[in-house]
Structure 1
Amino acid sequence: MTVRGEVRPGFEAVREAFGQVAAETSGGVGFSVFRRGEPVVSLCAGSASAGVAWTPDTRVVLFSGTKGIVATLVAMLTARGQLGPGERVARYWPEFAAAGKADVTVAQVLSHTVGLPYVDADVALTDNAGSALALATQHPLWTPGKRVAYHALTYGYLVTELIRRVTGQGVGALLHELLAAPHGLDLTLGTPPSVPVATLRRAPGYRISTFLQDDDRRRVVERMYRGLLDSTDTMNSPAYRGAELAAGSGVGTATSMARLYDLLLAGSLVPSPVLTLATRTWSEGIDAINDRPLHFGLGFELADPIGTYGPTGADPGAFGHSGAGGGRHGAWPGRGVSFSFTTNELQAEDVDTRAAVLLAALHEAA
């Protein structure tokens, strides 16, 4: 597979590693890196869809990479004094106090400890308002704050409703207003059918929750994801891409995602104390449902024992958010480096080494 793009002197090993990654992907891949405001890596290979080459402008569904964008928006609202991590959710959303949730904090929602990993009611996957209404009346599976478990989709419903309550806006409109338009970022939430997006595909044997061996909790996972990743028909549908799902339907380019984290490091989006607050440890441990090691700030993933954000020593202060099937987006604050790996071929976590290979090469170069 032909590698296209450029790297700055000193990053040649990253290009070599990217060639290896491209060879292990039957779809398309992109990798973008910024260092202190300057682009140092912009590489792509493969195809976005039949007959269409992957370019630096190729947009792709970001899946849970969207959570990092939304965490940025929450940090911006925190900096404006509109949303407080330590405040009770019910202060902004009174109905949420039902079913023993009166003391749940915004931070518990953002750090995946609230105990609402799935929607109990029969509500459409793309129905933000209906899902938020159902979650407001739902009992948590555990005492909020006592356990950590990834809230794959419900994170989005909960945060979307919080944002709507404090701003009066949908999260997609806020993304456009605060990030995309003023900073020239090709990022959307609620993407119209007219916008070209890479066609997603599943690698043979693709599956989720590869750390999990328990059949009972596997059924909980199935309730969490609601079949979203079982078929390319759903994830490639205009309805899914058009939904403003703050947990996973964002669309963007590798360049824009890397630039987003570069802007965060530069202090262009939120003051340093607010970013420090958002990227310190708020929850950590083994996922109570998935058995995977977790480490969260306020909506951001943090460096973990399995090297999600690079090899040992890359940057203990790393933060960002990964996405289903292999996407990896984030920053190494100690080095002033931000990065984004995008792909349209979903590979299972226990066999997918693509982002790890790239971050290892970047670690040596940067």
Structure 2
Amino acid sequence: MRERLPDRLRTALELPGRAAARLDDYPPALSALAVALAAGVFAVGLVVAAQAGLAMAVTGGSQPVAQTSTVPMDVDASNWQDAPRRTVTLYEQQMALPYGGGSVGEVDVKAMTNDTHVGFRLTYDDPTRDLALDRPGNYSDAAAVMLRTGEQPPITMGASGQPVDIWYWRASWQYANDSAEGAGDMYSYPHPDNETRPGTAAGNPISQATYDDFGQNYYAKGFGSLSDAPTQTVRANGERTEDGWQVVFVRERDTEGQYDATFGTDEPVYLAWAVWNGSADEVNGKKSVSLEFTKLTSDGSQLVAADSGPGDGTPTPTENATTTTGSGDGLLGGDLGSYLVMLVLATGLAWLYSYRKFGGEQ
């Protein structure tokens, strides 16, 4: 068996050459097409393999947590002022279409917990107060926390079999009646809802005009898979500062939602952050995002900063690492169109080159 192995290896290495020689027996256009298809598939395969290898973001450090008697919704409460801070770098979202964002460079995060509740306060610079949705091209300021308890998920809003919990706040929800700022309804004139607001007419919980709770609880299994959680357990409150926004998210530690992050177990909690600046045309996938996870751990009774990484809020050296990938319900689900475009372009370019090569030789 060992003596025959070199012959088999030699045969395998000779196969590409034999295949290339046989192409000479076919018309130039057909030979070029065969080479182009092979090159296109190979190019897309390289991209998929590279993105698969980068889908799992590293953990960029630990989130310090303050133990307190109450977890306040008030952004200016003294409890928040005394809590330790961690600064997280944000980047333009370039993992899936639509690419964009990046107008907010960093966010300061504080975490707080007691026996029953857990909360996060996000502080970031944003020079404009964007609330108005009364005309096309107007977008609201917003912020979100992505969480998963247990195994670290892909940074791409989770994946199939690795769902994430997302807490979302939007300024236009909280300040919908603030007419002084120009907030309003794009379809305020009399018109049937089923024509101008089909989502609202159908009862889609993500398409409501107003919300009693300004924090919404969503689930996702990759880009393009956001869904409303059946039970809304997240509360949020956002207030303007001189330089931007402070947004507080609060939720009970123990909830029964299918994919809700849990805080009362020995498993770690992975956190990521996102911010939208409406005046910078940031909406949906266009956002400023963290490309690393922050980690929380628990001893079953108290949330604590993870052992690895700093506990004083100082970013680690890996804070500036970048990760690019696309994922829907699985690796290709949410961004399949991008791969098809790459395949067509790569095949077309390879065909032109190969046709000229084979055509010139005959």
TM-score, normalised relative to structure 1: 0.23
**Bigger CA radius of gyration:** 2
Structure number having the greater strand percentage: 2
Structure number having the greater helix percentage: 1
Query: With CA pairs under 8 Å and 6+ residues apart, which has the higher RCO, 1 or 2?
Result: 2
TM-score, normalised relative to structure 2: 0.23
